[in-house]
Amino acid sequence: MIPELGHFALALGVALGFAQAIVPLWGAQRRDLRMMQAAPALALGQFLALGISFGSLVWSGVTSDFSVLTVAENTNSLEPLIYKITGSWGNHEGSILFWCLILTLCGAAVAEFGDALPTSLRARVIGVLGLAGVGFELFALLESDPFARLMPAPIDGRDMNPLLQDPGLAMHPPILYIGYVGFAVPFAFAVAALLEGRIDAAWGRWVRPWTLAAWCFLTGGIALGSWWAYYELGWGGFWFWDPVENASLLPWLTGTALLHSALVVEKREALKVWTVLLAIGTFSLSLSGTFLVRSGILNSVHSFANDPARGVFILALLGLVIGGSLLLFALRAPVLAASGVFAPISREGGLVLNNILLCSIAAVVLTGTMYPLFADLLLGEKLSVGAPFFNATVFPLAVPLFAAMAVGPALSWKRADLGPALQKLWWAALVAALVGAGAATLTSLLPALVFAASAWLILGAAADLAVRVRLFRIPLGASLRRLGGLPRGSFGTTLAHAGLGITIAGIAGMSLAQSSIVLLKPGETTHLDGYDWQLETLHDAAGPNYAARVATIRISRDGRTVVTLAPERRSFPVQQITTTEAKISTNLLRDLYAVLGEERDGGAVLRLHVNPLAPWIWLGALVMAAGGIVSLADRRLRVGAPTRRTAAVPAE
C-alpha cells in the first residue's frame, strides 16, 4: 500500500509541477496578479507531494518491503538501519526521485523566503523551477519508476554494493545533490531575468545567497566524496580525475566563478550578461554531470547505475533544458546589455581575472572529460585521458589564479593601484617565498611551488584582515572592536581563500607520500619513511552482513609504538564481493595508511602509505564551506532582508 501511495504522490507532484510551470509564467506574461500569486502555494504543494513520495520509498526500505524492486535489489534484511535508509538514494531510481525532491525543496525555499522579491520575478523563478522539475519527475514516473513491484517478492534482498555501505558515502550523495540542484535556483533567476528583460544590483543580491548556499553544499559534497575514495577504495589516492569526479568539479569551478561575478553585478552593475550565462552554464554542467553519469555514457569505476536504455530520454531532457535556456539567452541577452566598463586594475578587474582563469580550467577539464567520448563517436578511436593530462593543463592555469587570489580582496572597487595593495601583503609574500625556498631544499620544485602558493593564500587572507582592522597600528582593543564591526562577508572571503590554501598544502603534501607493497609473514617487520611496520597477527572476524579477515599491524618509531592498525578484507556473501577496508591513523600532520591484500605463502601482502598533510585536503574544504556559511550569515545577504543599503556598513 505504502509504495502505491508514493507512486500516487509522485504522479500528483507531476500534475502540480505542470500547474507550477504554466500558471505563474503565464500570469507573469499577462500581468495577472492572481495567477502570479498562486506560485508559492503550488511550489509548497509540489514539495509536499514529492516529500510523501520519497518518504514512502524510505519507509519501504526501512521495513524491508522486498516486493519493491529497488528495495529488493539494493538492501538486505541484515543490513544496519542506516544503510536501509541510504539504500533509497544509493540506486538509479531512488537517486532520481531524491534529485526531484531537492528541486522541489528549492522551489519551496524560494516560495518561503522570497517575500521580498518582486511578484513577477518570484512567479517566474518558481515557474522555471517547476518546468525543470516536471521534466525529471516525468522521467522518474515513466522511465525509472522507483516503486515498481516485484512478483513474487523474494525472501531477502540483494544487498547494497558493499563499497557503498559506509557512513561517509551515506551522506555524500544527499549533500552533493543539494549542491548540484541548488544551482537550479540561480539558473531559474537567470532565465526569469531573461524573460523579464532586466537585471539590476538587487538581482545580483538575490542570486548570490542561493549560489553561495549551493556552492557550500557542493564543496562539502565533493570533499566527502574524495575522502570516501581515500579511505574506502583503498588506493591511497584522493582524486583520480575520473569522469564522475570531473562531473562534480566542473559545476564547482563555474559555480565559484558565478559566485564572484554575481558580486560584480551586485556592487557595480557590470558583467550582467556574463553572469546570466554563467548561471545557465553552471546548472547545465550540474545536470549533465548527474545525468550523463546516471545514463552510463561516461563509463567509469564510480558509476553504480548504468542503463543506456534510459539515456535517450535523459539526453532529450538535457537538450531541452540546456538548449532552451541558451536559445532564450541568445534571443534576450541583447536586451540586458550595456553594462559598465571598468579599470583593469580594480576589485572587479580582479574578479574578471578570477572568472577567466576558473572558466579556462573548467574548459580544459571539460575537454579532457569529453574527449574520449567524442573520439570514440567521431573518430572511432578508443583512448583515455588520465591524470597526466589534467595535471599538465590545470596546474599552469591554477598558479596565476592562486597568485591573484590573495591580491584581489586587497584591491578597491572601481579603480585601484597595485602598489598599495601589494604593500599590504609584503610580509605574506616574504613568508611564502621563504616557505617555497625552504620546501625546495627538501623536495622537488613543483611541491615547493604549491607550498609557497598555500602560504601565500593563507597569509594573504590573514594580512588582508589585519589591514582592515588596522592591527598593530591602533590599540589591540580598538582592532578587536573593528573586527567585530567588519561585515561577515569579508570574514567569509578570508576563510574561503585560506581554506583553499589549506587544501592545496594537503595536495602538495600528498605528492610527497611514500608507499610500499610488501609480503610479510606474522611477526615480520618492514621499514617505511622512518616507521617500523610489524605484522602481528592474521585472524578472522565476523560482521553483521560480512565475514572479515583482519591483519593487526603494529607501527613503531624508534622502538616506541605509535599505533596499531587493523586493516580488513571483507567478503559479502549476498553480493559475493570482497572489499578491502583500509585503516588510517592520523595526527593531522601525516596519515599512516595500511591496506591488507591477498594472502599467500603463509604471509599477507600489505600496502603501506605515509601521507604527509593528507587530512588538510578535506579540512581545507571544510574551512572553505564554513567561509561560505559565514558569508551567508551576512546581514546584507540575508534572504528577505531589506534591499535598501543600511547606513552603518563599514568601509571596505
Partner 1 sequence: MTRKRRRLALVLACGIGLGTAAALTLSAFSDSVAFFVSPSELAQKAPGPGRTFRLGGLVVAGSVARTLDDGRPAATFRVGDGHSEVSVRYVGILPDLFREGQGIVALGTLAPDGSFRAQEVLAKHDETYMPKEVADALKKSGRWRPEAGPPPPASTWNDLSVRKAGG
In the window 154-183, what residues touch partner 1 (CB under 8 A)? 161, 163
# binding residues, partner 1 (CB under 8 A): 49
Query: CA 39, 128, 354, 271 torsion: positive or negative?
Result: negative
- Least separation, in Å, of the C-beta of 480 and partner 1? 40
Q: Which backbone phi and psi does 561 adopt, to 5 degrees?
A: -70, 130
User: Rounded distance, CA 22 to CA 32, Å?
Assistant: 13
Are 6 and 56 spatial neighbours (Cβ–Cβ below 8 Å)? yes
Between 384 and 441, name the residue whose CB sits nearer to partner 1: 384
- Least separation, in Å, of the C-beta of 598 and partner 1? 7
Contacts with partner 1, 590-609, as mask; x by CB under 8 A:
-----x-xx-x----x-x--
Alpha helix stretches (DSSP H) within 143-183: 167-182
**C-alpha cell belonging to residue 621:** 574544504
Residues 6+ apart with CB under 8 A from 124: 24, 25, 28, 188, 191, 192, 195, 196
- Least separation, in Å, of the C-beta of 389 and partner 1? 4
- In order of 122, 184, 197, 430, 481, the CA distances from 24 in angstroms are 9, 17, 17, 57, 48
Instruction: Check residue 637 and report its DSSP letter.
Output: G
In the window 321-350, what residues touch partner 1 (CB under 8 A)? 341-344
- Least separation, in Å, of the C-beta of 557 and partner 1? 22
Kind and range of the H or E element at 525? Answer: strand 525-528
In the window 382-421, what residues touch partner 1 (CB under 8 A)? 382-386, 388-389, 392-393, 396-397
Alpha helix stretches (DSSP H) within 33-79: 33-37, 39-62, 69-74
User: Rounded distance, CA 104 to CA 49, Å?
Assistant: 9
Between 156 and 381, name the residue whose CB sits nearer to partner 1: 381
Alpha helix stretches (DSSP H) within 296-336: 311-318, 324-336
Between 139 and 239, name the residue whose CB sits nearer to partner 1: 239
Between 299 and 585, name the residue whose CB sits nearer to partner 1: 299
**C-alpha cell belonging to residue 298:** 561516461
Residues 6+ apart with CB under 8 A from 379: none
- Least separation, in Å, of the C-beta of 503 and partner 1? 22
Assess 435 for contact with partner 1 (CB under 8 A): no
- Least separation, in Å, of the C-beta of 590 and partner 1? 22
Between 2 and 363, name the residue whose CB sits nearer to partner 1: 363
Are 346 and 413 spatial neighbours (Cβ–Cβ below 8 Å)? yes
**C-alpha cell belonging to residue 233:** 577504495
Between 59 and 304, name the residue whose CB sits nearer to partner 1: 304
- Least separation, in Å, of the C-beta of 312 and partner 1? 18
Between 519 and 622, name the residue whose CB sits nearer to partner 1: 519
Between 81 and 341, name the residue whose CB sits nearer to partner 1: 341
- Least separation, in Å, of the C-beta of 617 and partner 1? 22
Contacts with partner 1, 260-299, as mask; x by CB under 8 A:
---------------------------------------x
Residues 6+ apart with CB under 8 A from 513: 236, 609, 610, 611, 612, 614
Between 49 and 352, name the residue whose CB sits nearer to partner 1: 352
Which class for 450: exposed (0-12), middle (13-18), buried (19 or more C-beta within 10 A)? buried
Are 24 and 39 spatial neighbours (Cβ–Cβ below 8 Å)? yes
The DSSP bridge pattern shows strands 525-528 and 560-565 to be unpaired
Contacts with partner 1, 352-371, as mask; x by CB under 8 A:
xx--xx-xxx-xx--xx--x
Between 401 and 452, name the residue whose CB sits nearer to partner 1: 401
Which listed residue (517, 588, 589, 633) binds partner 1 by CB under 8 A?
517
Residue numbers at the binding site for partner 1 (CB under 8 A): 161, 163, 299, 301, 341-344, 352-353, 356-357, 359-361, 363-364, 367-368, 371, 381-386, 388-389, 392-393, 396-397, 516-519, 569, 575-580, 595, 597-598, 600, 605, 607
